[in-house]
Amino acid sequence: MFSIGQFFERIRSKYAQEIFIRTVIKESLKKIANIDVAVEDISLSGSSVSIKKLNQSARSVMYIKKQSMLEAINSAQSISNITDIR
């Protein structure tokens, strides 16, 4: 049986990993496609990334440079294998 401290430690660990991945994604988008998004607008769902509040021209640039962004994101972190950006 886990104590309440161990339970909260696991939650804090998962949250820190997700924030790290979101930050890596934000930096890759800025570096490769020159798209600036907030960390709060990036959501993870399995191996897919969704970005909210992004205009159509930025989505087009992101689609064109998707493969290089995925390679940069996966090489910068080893927690999760990202396969798609939407």
Number of domains in the chain: 1
Per-residue pLDDT of the chain (86 residues; tens, 9 = 90+): 667 777 778 778 778 888 999 999 999 999 999 999 999 999 998 889 999 989 999 999 999 999 999 999 999 888 888 888 98
pLDDT at 8: 77
Query: How far is Cα 72 from Cα 55, in angstroms, rounded to an integer?
Result: 22
pLDDT at 1: 61
SS3 content of the chain, % helix, strand, coil (to 5): 60, 10, 25
Provide the residue range defining the domain that includes 17: 4-85
C-alpha 84, offset from chain centre: 10
Q: Is 80 exposed, middle or buried (0-12, 13-18, 19+ CB in 10 A)?
A: middle
Query: How far is Cα 51 from Cα 3, in angstroms, rounded to an integer?
Result: 36
